Amino acid sequence: NKMQPWVPAAALSLISCLTTTLYFFSTPDSLSASSEANSASDALWRRGKWGKPDAEFNWCEPDYVDSPYIAETWNSFTSLLYLVPAFAGFLSAKSTAPYGKGTRRFYFLLMSVASVGVGSTIFHATLLYASQLMDELPMFYLVLSASFILFYRNGETPPLQASLSCFALAILITFLLICEPKDTPLHTAGRGFLTLGFTACFIYIFYASCSISAELRKMGTAVSARASSDVSTLFELSFYAFVFAIA
């Protein structure tokens, strides 16, 4: 497990160029809700209680098969699994890192994980564009806060300017997506910032994870060697899961 940090960064950069292009510029018909294959017929969407789906994506699952309140059953219930690591993290943090000035960002990170689970569940249950934003924005908050924590992982206090810049970016993107009507230039710009920002943060998280493994390995102790091995294993599993998910 001696992968250099630049290797996953380069690999993910190439993959993300493809996925970002497909997501923002040329969504495949198999995922596009507006495609003929995924456009719900009146009879189909009238089964549901949320009205005609207007989200940009309709994932690979028949709509409103099991309940008029749930458009995509499996996607909805599996999204709730995000609450498991969030809850476990809160329990662990409560005993090892009580809430305070130095740990607030970690609690915010856990809240972001839980928010992703709630937002993603609502999105897959309704297939509405408003709920799609409830899915996408918490994901962006999650990767942005994770990147921020990893960048300042050596114990130094983050500069106020850095904290304010991240906060301002999140507020700007949120404002453009929520307050500007869909398909307007400003809303589209917000989606562009969201997509590119998510991609950049995602790449950095993998890069930093590999760097942490290398840093632990250099310490030379048995504990650090075990930790390095665990980080490398988690990184590899995450990388393969990501590749499998987009395949």
- Per-residue pLDDT tens over the stretch 166-177: 999 999 999 999
Q: What is the pLDDT of residue 50?
A: 87
Task: Quick: pLDDT tens for 46-72.
Answer: 677 888 888 887 777 778 888 889 988
What is the four-CA torsion angle of 22, 28, 31, 36, rounded to 10 degrees? Answer: 150
Q: What is the pLDDT of residue 207?
A: 80
Q: What is the pLDDT of residue 186?
A: 94
The closest alpha carbon to 39, from 48, 49, 47, 29, belongs to 29
What is the distance between the alpha carbons of residues 83 and 119, in angstroms, rounded to a whole number? 11
Q: Are 202 and 209 in contact (CB under 8 A)?
A: no
Q: Are 116 and 146 in contact (CB under 8 A)?
A: no
Tokens of 245: 């998910």
Supply the mean pLDDT for the chain. Answer: 77
Q: Which residues of the chain have pLDDT under 50?
A: 1, 41, 244-247
Q: What is the pLDDT of residue 130?
A: 92
Considering the entire predicted model, what is its pTM? 0.78
Q: Are 57 and 105 in contact (CB under 8 A)?
A: no
What is the distance between the alpha carbons of residues 49 and 69, in angstroms, rounded to a whole number? 6
The closest alpha carbon to 63, from 37, 24, 29, belongs to 37
